[in-house]
Amino acid sequence: MTDLFPAAAEGDAVGRLRSRLASGADAAGLLDVAYRSVDSPVGPLLLAATPLGVVRIAFDVQGHDAALAELAANVGPRVLRAGARLDEPTRQLEEFFTGRRRRFELPLDLRLAGGFRRRVAEALAGIGYGETVGYGALAARLGAPGAARAVGTGCARNPLPVVLPCHRVVRADGSVGDYAGGADAKRWLLDLERGDRGPAPAAACRVQPA
């Protein structure tokens, strides 16, 4: 059960119907993944969650359709635009982008990060707000000092950017390095945390119409 009603063909009445169907499917345990799209200061974001927690955040440049296909293949085929499960993640992201939150308090589903990438994802949660660490230094924290390249791969394939802050991992010379959302998005996030950029407007995360 993937997206039942294409957005382009949807009027208000159909939108309300889809919302009721999604809520009913979620309440009945029939929904593998709920998702919504939000506009943010670093571009449109896809947010997706399972009953266990937030499972995927994807930047527009990564391809939201590709992210949804990955979720259908690796989590479950019943993927539906259903906002209620994403209300709290959306609220916390807005607080972060407006400078009112420094730490996320969300249940996370890390099933898309396996093996060493799972260890990298878990280590990212320990990098504090406004802190940066080099790829090699993070590898050393993981007890694998020669694995800087593998740490870079883990950051690039981090399924939950922003919430698991791979933007805080930089090159040894302090330059920003690569980022799934693009170098400009990484600089924006680092500037926000350094206080070099004013917080985003109050409506930092606006839910895109279904």
Name the residues annotated as catalytic: 166
How far apart CA 79 and CA 75 sit, in angstroms, is 9
Produce one character per residue of 8-34: b if its CB has 16 or more CB atoms within 10 Å, e if not. Answer: eebeeeeeeebeebbbebbeeeebbbb
Specify whether the CB–CB gap between 96 and 17 falls below 8 A: no
Burial class (CB in 10 A: 0-12, 13-18, 19+), 153: middle
| Helical axes 148-156 vs 116-124, angle rounded to 10° | 80
